[in-house]
Amino acid sequence: MNEWVARFFGLGAVAAPALLLAVFGLSTFFTRRLGEKAMARWTAACVSYGLFSVVGMLLAMLWTGDREVPVEIGDWVALPAEGFHFRLKFLFDRLSVPFAALTFVLVGVTGAFADRYLHREPGYRRFFLYFAVFLLGMVVASLAGTIETLFLGWELVGLASALLVAFFHERAAPVFNAQRIWTVYRFSDAAFLIAALTLHHLSGAGDFATLTGSGPWPASRPTIAPGPALGIGLLLLLAAAGKSALVPFSGWLPRAMEGPTPSSAVFYGALSVHLGAYLLLRVDPILKASPPLCACVVAIGAATAVFGVVVGRVQTDVKTALAYASLTQVGVITAEIGLGFRYLALVHIIGHACQRTLQFLRSPSLLQDYRVLENALGGPIPHVAGIAERRFPAELRRRLYRFGLERGRLDEALDRFLVRPFVRAFRWCDGMERRWTDFLSGGRRPHHDHDHDRPRRHAAVPQSSPDGEALS
Protein backbone atom coordinates (compact mmCIF):
# COMPACT_ATOMS: atom_id res chain seq x y z
CA MET A 1 0.00 0.00 0.00
CA ASN A 2 1.18 3.48 -0.76
CA GLU A 3 2.80 4.92 2.35
CA TRP A 4 0.99 8.25 2.06
CA VAL A 5 -2.39 6.55 1.84
CA ALA A 6 -1.58 4.45 4.90
CA ARG A 7 -0.43 7.49 6.84
CA PHE A 8 -3.42 9.57 5.78
CA PHE A 9 -5.96 7.03 6.97
CA GLY A 10 -3.90 5.66 9.84
CA LEU A 11 -3.05 8.98 11.43
CA GLY A 12 -6.56 10.27 10.74
CA ALA A 13 -8.05 7.48 12.83
CA VAL A 14 -5.89 8.41 15.83
CA ALA A 15 -5.79 12.16 15.30
CA ALA A 16 -9.58 12.56 15.30
CA PRO A 17 -10.12 11.45 18.93
CA ALA A 18 -6.91 13.22 19.98
CA LEU A 19 -8.25 16.44 18.51
CA LEU A 20 -11.57 15.94 20.26
CA LEU A 21 -9.86 15.53 23.62
CA ALA A 22 -7.60 18.51 22.98
CA VAL A 23 -10.58 20.74 22.13
CA PHE A 24 -12.61 19.66 25.15
CA GLY A 25 -9.63 19.77 27.49
CA LEU A 26 -8.42 23.17 26.38
CA SER A 27 -11.90 24.65 26.50
CA THR A 28 -12.35 23.32 30.04
CA PHE A 29 -9.19 24.77 31.50
CA PHE A 30 -7.93 27.56 29.34
CA THR A 31 -10.60 29.23 27.22
CA ARG A 32 -14.32 29.81 27.40
CA ARG A 33 -16.45 26.72 27.85
CA LEU A 34 -18.19 25.13 24.90
CA GLY A 35 -21.95 24.89 24.80
CA GLU A 36 -23.88 21.64 24.51
CA LYS A 37 -24.49 22.03 20.80
CA ALA A 38 -20.85 22.73 20.08
CA MET A 39 -19.71 19.72 22.09
CA ALA A 40 -22.17 17.42 20.37
CA ARG A 41 -21.08 18.69 16.96
CA TRP A 42 -17.39 18.30 17.77
CA THR A 43 -18.04 14.75 18.96
CA ALA A 44 -20.05 13.85 15.87
CA ALA A 45 -17.45 15.39 13.53
CA CYS A 46 -14.45 13.72 15.13
CA VAL A 47 -16.11 10.34 15.44
CA SER A 48 -17.27 10.52 11.82
CA TYR A 49 -13.81 11.43 10.60
CA GLY A 50 -12.25 8.66 12.67
CA LEU A 51 -14.71 6.15 11.28
CA PHE A 52 -14.12 7.43 7.76
CA SER A 53 -10.38 6.91 8.23
CA VAL A 54 -10.76 3.36 9.55
CA VAL A 55 -13.17 2.40 6.78
CA GLY A 56 -10.86 4.07 4.26
CA MET A 57 -7.98 2.00 5.57
CA LEU A 58 -10.09 -1.15 5.40
CA LEU A 59 -11.03 -0.48 1.79
CA ALA A 60 -7.42 0.29 0.92
CA MET A 61 -6.33 -2.97 2.55
CA LEU A 62 -8.96 -4.91 0.64
CA TRP A 63 -7.98 -3.17 -2.59
CA THR A 64 -4.27 -3.88 -2.23
CA GLY A 65 -4.61 -7.24 -0.51
CA ASP A 66 -2.43 -6.14 2.42
CA ARG A 67 -3.34 -7.96 5.60
CA GLU A 68 -1.19 -5.88 7.89
CA VAL A 69 -0.37 -2.18 7.57
CA PRO A 70 1.94 -0.65 10.17
CA VAL A 71 1.84 3.13 10.59
CA GLU A 72 4.87 4.48 12.41
CA ILE A 73 4.75 7.85 14.12
CA GLY A 74 8.31 7.44 15.30
CA ASP A 75 10.15 7.22 18.55
CA TRP A 76 8.45 9.05 21.35
CA VAL A 77 11.64 8.65 23.34
CA ALA A 78 14.81 7.02 22.12
CA LEU A 79 18.24 6.53 23.58
CA PRO A 80 19.82 4.58 20.73
CA ALA A 81 23.10 4.00 22.55
CA GLU A 82 21.25 2.19 25.30
CA GLY A 83 18.85 0.40 22.97
CA PHE A 84 15.94 2.17 24.67
CA HIS A 85 13.04 3.06 22.43
CA PHE A 86 9.49 4.00 23.20
CA ARG A 87 7.88 3.76 19.81
CA LEU A 88 4.53 5.07 18.81
CA LYS A 89 3.33 2.66 16.22
CA PHE A 90 -0.12 1.69 15.06
CA LEU A 91 -1.05 -1.52 13.39
CA PHE A 92 -3.99 -2.05 11.05
CA ASP A 93 -4.84 -5.70 10.60
CA ARG A 94 -7.78 -8.09 10.71
CA LEU A 95 -8.06 -7.68 14.44
CA SER A 96 -7.54 -3.97 14.98
CA VAL A 97 -9.56 -2.59 12.07
CA PRO A 98 -12.89 -4.24 13.03
CA PHE A 99 -12.36 -3.33 16.67
CA ALA A 100 -11.53 0.31 15.88
CA ALA A 101 -14.52 0.56 13.52
CA LEU A 102 -16.74 -0.95 16.20
CA THR A 103 -15.39 1.62 18.67
CA PHE A 104 -16.21 4.56 16.43
CA VAL A 105 -19.67 3.24 15.56
CA LEU A 106 -20.71 2.53 19.15
CA VAL A 107 -19.17 5.71 20.55
CA GLY A 108 -20.92 7.70 17.84
CA VAL A 109 -24.29 6.08 18.57
CA THR A 110 -23.89 6.45 22.32
CA GLY A 111 -22.66 10.04 21.95
CA ALA A 112 -25.78 10.94 19.96
CA PHE A 113 -27.94 9.23 22.58
CA ALA A 114 -26.11 10.97 25.44
CA ASP A 115 -26.55 14.36 23.83
CA ARG A 116 -30.29 14.05 24.40
CA TYR A 117 -30.18 11.90 27.52
CA LEU A 118 -27.98 14.37 29.42
CA HIS A 119 -29.46 17.54 27.97
CA ARG A 120 -29.21 20.33 30.58
CA GLU A 121 -27.60 18.02 33.10
CA PRO A 122 -25.03 19.95 35.16
CA GLY A 123 -22.41 17.35 34.27
CA TYR A 124 -22.96 17.43 30.52
CA ARG A 125 -19.52 18.90 29.73
CA ARG A 126 -17.80 16.65 32.19
CA PHE A 127 -19.42 13.61 30.62
CA PHE A 128 -18.27 14.50 27.13
CA LEU A 129 -14.77 15.36 28.33
CA TYR A 130 -14.39 11.92 29.94
CA PHE A 131 -16.05 10.39 26.91
CA ALA A 132 -13.34 11.93 24.73
CA VAL A 133 -10.67 10.47 27.03
CA PHE A 134 -12.35 7.09 26.66
CA LEU A 135 -12.57 7.32 22.88
CA LEU A 136 -8.90 8.20 22.56
CA GLY A 137 -7.95 5.40 24.93
CA MET A 138 -10.03 2.83 23.07
CA VAL A 139 -8.73 3.85 19.65
CA VAL A 140 -5.11 3.91 20.80
CA ALA A 141 -5.52 0.53 22.51
CA SER A 142 -7.20 -1.11 19.53
CA LEU A 143 -4.77 0.21 16.93
CA ALA A 144 -1.62 -0.13 19.06
CA GLY A 145 1.34 -1.66 17.28
CA THR A 146 3.49 -1.97 20.38
CA ILE A 147 2.63 -3.20 23.82
CA GLU A 148 3.62 0.16 25.33
CA THR A 149 1.20 1.99 23.06
CA LEU A 150 -1.50 -0.48 24.03
CA PHE A 151 -0.77 0.24 27.69
CA LEU A 152 -1.15 3.95 27.03
CA GLY A 153 -4.65 3.48 25.68
CA TRP A 154 -5.46 0.94 28.36
CA GLU A 155 -4.74 3.45 31.13
CA LEU A 156 -6.84 6.18 29.52
CA VAL A 157 -9.80 3.80 29.27
CA GLY A 158 -9.43 2.90 32.97
CA LEU A 159 -9.34 6.50 34.10
CA ALA A 160 -12.35 7.53 32.02
CA SER A 161 -14.24 4.50 33.24
CA ALA A 162 -13.68 5.23 36.93
CA LEU A 163 -14.50 8.92 36.56
CA LEU A 164 -17.71 8.21 34.70
CA VAL A 165 -18.88 5.71 37.29
CA ALA A 166 -18.57 8.56 39.80
CA PHE A 167 -20.43 10.89 37.47
CA PHE A 168 -23.19 11.51 40.00
CA HIS A 169 -20.59 12.33 42.62
CA GLU A 170 -22.90 14.10 45.03
CA ARG A 171 -24.08 10.63 46.11
CA ALA A 172 -21.87 8.29 48.09
CA ALA A 173 -22.44 5.00 46.33
CA PRO A 174 -21.12 6.02 42.90
CA VAL A 175 -17.99 7.45 44.50
CA PHE A 176 -17.25 4.31 46.50
CA ASN A 177 -17.93 2.14 43.51
CA ALA A 178 -15.65 4.25 41.33
CA GLN A 179 -12.88 3.87 43.89
CA ARG A 180 -13.38 0.12 43.89
CA ILE A 181 -13.18 -0.01 40.11
CA TRP A 182 -10.16 2.24 40.03
CA THR A 183 -8.45 -0.03 42.56
CA VAL A 184 -9.04 -3.15 40.46
CA TYR A 185 -7.93 -1.31 37.34
CA ARG A 186 -4.76 0.00 38.92
CA PHE A 187 -3.65 -3.42 40.01
CA SER A 188 -4.48 -4.99 36.69
CA ASP A 189 -2.60 -2.11 35.03
CA ALA A 190 0.37 -2.89 37.26
CA ALA A 191 0.29 -6.49 36.07
CA PHE A 192 0.10 -5.26 32.48
CA LEU A 193 3.05 -2.90 32.93
CA ILE A 194 5.21 -5.58 34.51
CA ALA A 195 4.32 -7.95 31.67
CA ALA A 196 5.05 -5.28 29.06
CA LEU A 197 8.43 -4.45 30.55
CA THR A 198 9.36 -8.09 30.95
CA LEU A 199 8.44 -8.65 27.34
CA HIS A 200 10.45 -5.62 26.36
CA HIS A 201 13.35 -6.95 28.38
CA LEU A 202 13.16 -10.42 26.80
CA SER A 203 12.54 -9.48 23.19
CA GLY A 204 14.38 -6.15 23.15
CA ALA A 205 11.29 -4.42 21.79
CA GLY A 206 7.64 -4.12 22.53
CA ASP A 207 6.56 -4.49 18.93
CA PHE A 208 3.87 -7.03 18.31
CA ALA A 209 5.70 -7.71 15.06
CA THR A 210 8.83 -8.68 17.00
CA LEU A 211 6.76 -10.66 19.42
CA THR A 212 4.85 -12.54 16.78
CA GLY A 213 7.84 -13.26 14.61
CA SER A 214 6.22 -13.64 11.24
CA GLY A 215 2.80 -13.65 9.72
CA PRO A 216 -0.12 -11.30 10.25
CA TRP A 217 -2.81 -11.94 12.86
CA PRO A 218 -4.10 -14.61 13.48
CA ALA A 219 -1.55 -16.68 11.59
CA SER A 220 1.36 -15.23 13.51
CA ARG A 221 3.86 -17.67 14.95
CA PRO A 222 5.36 -17.36 18.41
CA THR A 223 9.02 -16.52 18.90
CA ILE A 224 8.91 -16.63 22.66
CA ALA A 225 9.90 -19.71 24.70
CA PRO A 226 7.13 -21.58 26.59
CA GLY A 227 8.49 -20.73 30.05
CA PRO A 228 8.55 -16.95 29.70
CA ALA A 229 5.33 -17.16 27.69
CA LEU A 230 3.57 -18.72 30.65
CA GLY A 231 4.88 -16.11 33.12
CA ILE A 232 4.13 -13.12 30.91
CA GLY A 233 0.87 -14.64 29.78
CA LEU A 234 -0.35 -15.09 33.34
CA LEU A 235 0.39 -11.43 34.07
CA LEU A 236 -1.48 -10.42 30.93
CA LEU A 237 -4.34 -12.71 31.89
CA LEU A 238 -4.47 -10.96 35.27
CA ALA A 239 -4.60 -7.60 33.47
CA ALA A 240 -7.34 -8.85 31.15
CA ALA A 241 -9.29 -10.31 34.08
CA GLY A 242 -9.22 -6.96 35.87
CA LYS A 243 -10.32 -5.01 32.83
CA SER A 244 -13.01 -7.46 31.69
CA ALA A 245 -14.29 -8.25 35.19
CA LEU A 246 -13.43 -11.93 34.88
CA VAL A 247 -13.48 -14.08 38.01
CA PRO A 248 -12.27 -13.22 40.67
CA PHE A 249 -12.62 -9.51 39.83
CA SER A 250 -16.25 -9.72 38.72
CA GLY A 251 -17.49 -7.80 41.73
CA TRP A 252 -16.84 -4.41 40.21
CA LEU A 253 -19.07 -4.84 37.19
CA PRO A 254 -22.47 -4.30 38.86
CA ARG A 255 -20.96 -1.41 40.80
CA ALA A 256 -20.11 0.26 37.51
CA MET A 257 -23.81 0.55 36.73
CA GLU A 258 -23.95 3.61 39.00
CA GLY A 259 -22.77 5.71 36.06
CA PRO A 260 -25.12 7.31 33.54
CA THR A 261 -26.75 4.83 31.16
CA PRO A 262 -24.84 5.92 28.02
CA SER A 263 -21.51 5.30 29.71
CA SER A 264 -22.72 1.97 31.13
CA ALA A 265 -23.73 0.96 27.63
CA VAL A 266 -20.53 1.81 25.89
CA PHE A 267 -18.15 0.81 28.68
CA TYR A 268 -19.60 -2.27 30.33
CA GLY A 269 -21.94 -3.48 27.66
CA ALA A 270 -19.81 -2.91 24.63
CA LEU A 271 -16.23 -1.81 24.54
CA SER A 272 -14.34 -1.54 27.79
CA VAL A 273 -15.53 -4.89 29.05
CA HIS A 274 -14.17 -6.53 25.89
CA LEU A 275 -10.79 -4.88 26.11
CA GLY A 276 -9.39 -7.75 28.18
CA ALA A 277 -10.51 -10.23 25.53
CA TYR A 278 -9.00 -7.98 22.88
CA LEU A 279 -5.70 -8.02 24.74
CA LEU A 280 -5.72 -11.82 24.80
CA LEU A 281 -6.44 -11.88 21.08
CA ARG A 282 -3.64 -9.42 20.43
CA VAL A 283 -1.05 -11.44 22.35
CA ASP A 284 -2.29 -14.58 20.65
CA PRO A 285 1.29 -15.82 19.88
CA ILE A 286 1.98 -15.97 23.62
CA LEU A 287 -1.06 -18.18 24.06
CA LYS A 288 0.08 -20.38 21.20
CA ALA A 289 3.46 -20.79 22.85
CA SER A 290 2.04 -22.11 26.11
CA PRO A 291 -0.72 -24.75 26.34
CA PRO A 292 -0.94 -24.44 30.16
CA LEU A 293 -1.65 -20.75 29.67
CA CYS A 294 -4.44 -21.60 27.23
CA ALA A 295 -5.88 -23.94 29.85
CA CYS A 296 -5.86 -21.13 32.42
CA VAL A 297 -7.61 -18.82 29.95
CA VAL A 298 -10.31 -21.42 29.26
CA ALA A 299 -10.76 -22.11 32.98
CA ILE A 300 -11.15 -18.45 33.89
CA GLY A 301 -13.46 -17.82 30.95
CA ALA A 302 -15.67 -20.80 31.79
CA ALA A 303 -15.76 -19.90 35.49
CA THR A 304 -16.76 -16.35 34.60
CA ALA A 305 -19.51 -17.53 32.25
CA VAL A 306 -21.00 -19.85 34.87
CA PHE A 307 -20.70 -17.17 37.53
CA GLY A 308 -22.39 -14.64 35.26
CA VAL A 309 -25.30 -16.99 34.53
CA VAL A 310 -25.91 -17.91 38.17
CA VAL A 311 -25.65 -14.39 39.55
CA GLY A 312 -27.37 -12.66 36.66
CA ARG A 313 -30.51 -14.79 37.12
CA VAL A 314 -31.31 -13.34 40.53
CA GLN A 315 -30.64 -9.65 39.89
CA THR A 316 -33.51 -7.31 40.47
CA ASP A 317 -32.61 -4.29 38.38
CA VAL A 318 -32.26 -4.25 34.66
CA LYS A 319 -28.81 -2.68 34.37
CA THR A 320 -27.22 -5.14 36.79
CA ALA A 321 -28.92 -8.05 35.06
CA LEU A 322 -27.56 -6.80 31.75
CA ALA A 323 -24.12 -6.39 33.29
CA TYR A 324 -24.07 -10.03 34.33
CA ALA A 325 -25.40 -11.08 30.95
CA SER A 326 -22.44 -9.20 29.45
CA LEU A 327 -20.14 -10.94 31.85
CA THR A 328 -21.45 -14.34 30.78
CA GLN A 329 -20.73 -13.58 27.15
CA VAL A 330 -17.28 -12.16 27.93
CA GLY A 331 -16.52 -15.37 29.82
CA VAL A 332 -17.57 -17.41 26.79
CA ILE A 333 -15.47 -15.21 24.50
CA THR A 334 -12.45 -15.69 26.78
CA ALA A 335 -12.93 -19.44 26.73
CA GLU A 336 -13.14 -19.32 22.94
CA ILE A 337 -9.83 -17.48 22.81
CA GLY A 338 -8.24 -20.06 25.09
CA LEU A 339 -9.55 -22.84 22.86
CA GLY A 340 -8.00 -21.18 19.83
CA PHE A 341 -11.12 -19.92 18.03
CA ARG A 342 -9.75 -16.46 17.19
CA TYR A 343 -12.14 -15.42 14.44
CA LEU A 344 -15.13 -16.77 16.32
CA ALA A 345 -14.13 -14.73 19.36
CA LEU A 346 -13.74 -11.58 17.25
CA VAL A 347 -17.13 -12.02 15.61
CA HIS A 348 -18.64 -12.80 19.00
CA ILE A 349 -17.19 -9.59 20.44
CA ILE A 350 -18.61 -7.47 17.63
CA GLY A 351 -22.05 -9.04 17.73
CA HIS A 352 -22.30 -9.02 21.48
CA ALA A 353 -21.14 -5.41 21.78
CA CYS A 354 -23.75 -4.17 19.31
CA GLN A 355 -26.60 -6.13 20.84
CA ARG A 356 -25.70 -5.17 24.40
CA THR A 357 -25.35 -1.48 23.55
CA LEU A 358 -28.85 -1.56 22.14
CA GLN A 359 -30.19 -3.28 25.26
CA PHE A 360 -28.48 -0.85 27.61
CA LEU A 361 -29.66 2.21 25.73
CA ARG A 362 -33.17 0.81 25.72
CA SER A 363 -33.11 -0.16 29.40
CA PRO A 364 -34.51 3.17 30.76
CA SER A 365 -37.68 2.38 28.73
CA LEU A 366 -37.98 -1.23 29.87
CA LEU A 367 -41.20 -0.78 31.83
CA GLN A 368 -42.80 0.92 28.87
CA ASP A 369 -41.64 -1.92 26.61
CA TYR A 370 -43.13 -4.49 28.99
CA ARG A 371 -46.37 -2.60 29.09
CA VAL A 372 -46.55 -2.56 25.30
CA LEU A 373 -45.79 -6.27 25.23
CA GLU A 374 -48.40 -7.12 27.83
CA ASN A 375 -50.99 -5.00 26.10
CA ALA A 376 -50.28 -6.85 22.90
CA LEU A 377 -50.51 -10.24 24.65
CA GLY A 378 -53.60 -9.19 26.54
CA GLY A 379 -52.15 -10.19 29.94
CA PRO A 380 -48.93 -10.73 31.91
CA ILE A 381 -46.00 -12.31 30.10
CA PRO A 382 -46.19 -16.06 30.92
CA HIS A 383 -43.39 -17.47 33.07
CA VAL A 384 -41.56 -20.40 31.51
CA ALA A 385 -39.54 -22.63 33.86
CA GLY A 386 -35.87 -22.80 32.98
CA ILE A 387 -33.53 -25.78 33.05
CA ALA A 388 -32.56 -25.10 36.65
CA GLU A 389 -36.15 -25.17 37.80
CA ARG A 390 -36.93 -28.33 35.90
CA ARG A 391 -33.80 -30.39 36.53
CA PHE A 392 -32.08 -29.15 39.70
CA PRO A 393 -33.14 -30.36 43.17
CA ALA A 394 -34.65 -27.75 45.45
CA GLU A 395 -31.68 -27.68 47.84
CA LEU A 396 -29.23 -27.00 45.04
CA ARG A 397 -31.48 -24.32 43.62
CA ARG A 398 -31.67 -22.68 47.04
CA ARG A 399 -27.89 -22.72 47.38
CA LEU A 400 -27.39 -21.33 43.91
CA TYR A 401 -29.95 -18.64 44.60
CA ARG A 402 -28.13 -17.58 47.72
CA PHE A 403 -24.77 -17.70 45.92
CA GLY A 404 -26.20 -15.48 43.21
CA LEU A 405 -27.80 -13.08 45.63
CA GLU A 406 -24.52 -12.63 47.48
CA ARG A 407 -22.69 -12.36 44.16
CA GLY A 408 -20.39 -15.17 45.14
CA ARG A 409 -19.04 -13.09 48.02
CA LEU A 410 -16.14 -12.17 45.79
CA ASP A 411 -15.99 -8.60 47.01
CA GLU A 412 -16.26 -9.68 50.64
CA ALA A 413 -13.33 -12.02 50.13
CA LEU A 414 -11.21 -9.25 48.62
CA ASP A 415 -12.20 -6.91 51.45
CA ARG A 416 -11.53 -9.44 54.14
CA PHE A 417 -8.22 -10.78 52.93
CA LEU A 418 -6.71 -7.76 51.20
CA VAL A 419 -8.30 -4.41 51.94
CA ARG A 420 -8.94 -4.62 55.67
CA PRO A 421 -5.54 -6.05 56.68
CA PHE A 422 -3.85 -3.43 54.51
CA VAL A 423 -5.82 -0.52 55.97
CA ARG A 424 -5.43 -1.79 59.54
CA ALA A 425 -1.69 -2.26 59.18
CA PHE A 426 -1.07 1.20 57.82
CA ARG A 427 -3.47 2.86 60.25
CA TRP A 428 -1.53 1.20 63.05
CA CYS A 429 1.71 2.56 61.57
CA ASP A 430 0.13 5.99 61.32
CA GLY A 431 -0.88 5.89 64.96
CA MET A 432 2.59 4.80 66.04
CA GLU A 433 4.19 7.54 63.98
CA ARG A 434 2.00 10.17 65.56
CA ARG A 435 2.93 8.91 69.01
CA TRP A 436 6.61 8.99 68.12
CA THR A 437 6.35 12.53 66.78
CA ASP A 438 4.43 13.60 69.89
CA PHE A 439 7.15 12.10 72.02
CA LEU A 440 9.88 13.95 70.12
CA SER A 441 8.03 17.24 70.27
CA GLY A 442 7.36 16.92 73.96
CA GLY A 443 3.71 16.04 73.59
CA ARG A 444 2.77 19.20 71.67
CA ARG A 445 1.06 18.04 68.57
CA PRO A 446 -0.79 20.25 66.16
CA HIS A 447 -4.54 20.23 66.55
CA HIS A 448 -6.81 20.77 63.63
CA ASP A 449 -10.54 20.99 63.37
CA HIS A 450 -10.80 17.53 61.92
CA ASP A 451 -8.81 15.87 64.70
CA HIS A 452 -12.01 15.88 66.70
CA ASP A 453 -15.19 14.13 65.86
CA ARG A 454 -17.41 16.88 64.71
CA PRO A 455 -20.80 16.64 63.10
CA ARG A 456 -20.46 15.96 59.42
CA ARG A 457 -21.30 18.83 57.17
CA HIS A 458 -22.44 16.59 54.38
CA ALA A 459 -25.00 14.32 55.81
CA ALA A 460 -25.88 12.98 52.38
CA VAL A 461 -22.60 11.12 52.24
CA PRO A 462 -21.99 8.32 54.72
CA GLN A 463 -18.52 7.56 55.99
CA SER A 464 -18.26 4.05 54.73
CA SER A 465 -19.37 2.23 51.71
CA PRO A 466 -22.69 0.48 51.94
CA ASP A 467 -21.00 -2.51 50.35
CA GLY A 468 -18.02 -2.85 52.60
CA GLU A 469 -15.25 -1.02 54.25
CA ALA A 470 -13.99 1.97 52.35
CA LEU A 471 -10.42 3.07 52.41
CA SER A 472 -11.28 6.43 53.84
Give the footprint of another protein on this chain (CB under 8 A).
Answer: 28-30, 75-79, 81-82, 84, 86, 122, 148, 151-152, 155-156, 159, 162, 166, 169-170, 172, 175, 178-179, 182-183, 186-187, 189-190, 193-194, 197-198, 200-201, 422-423, 425-427, 429-430, 433, 436-437, 440-442, 444-446, 448-450, 456-458, 460-461, 463, 471-472
Q: Which amino acid is at 276?
A: G
Is residue 182 a contact partner of residue 175, using CB atoms and an 8 Å limit?
Answer: no
φ, ψ at 85 (rounded to 5°): -135, 140
Q: Are 243 and 78 in contact (CB under 8 A)?
A: no
Partners of residue 90 on adjacent β-strands: 71, 144
Q: Which residues pair with 91 in a beta bridge?
A: 70
Q: Is 77 exposed, middle or buried (0-12, 13-18, 19+ CB in 10 A)?
A: exposed
Sign of the dihedral defined by the CA atoms of residues 449, 453, 457, 460, in that order: positive
Q: How far is the CA of 434 from the CAs of 9, 424, 437, 443, in angstroms? A: 59, 15, 5, 10
CB of 174 to another protein, least distance (A): 8
d(C-alpha 32, C-alpha 378), whole Å: 55
Nearest CA among 252, 42, 277 for reference residue 166: 252
Instruction: Give the integer Cα–Cα distance in Å for 53 and 100.
Output: 10
Nearer to another protein, 57 or 136 (CB): 136
CA distance 264 to 272: 10
- For the purposes of burial, counting CB atoms within 10 Å of the CB of 440, is it exposed (0-12), middle (13-18) or buried (19 or more)? exposed
Find out whether 111 and 357 touch, Cβ atoms under 8 Å.
no
User: CA–CA separation, 87 vs 79, rounded Å?
Assistant: 11
Residue 215, φ and ψ in degrees, nearest 5: 90, 135
> Closer to another protein at the Cβ: 402 or 420?
420
Least Å from the CB of residue 69 to another protein:
24
State the minimum distance, in angstroms, from the CB of residue 265 to another protein: 23
Q: Which of 88, 74, 79, 131 is nearest to 107 (CA)?
A: 131
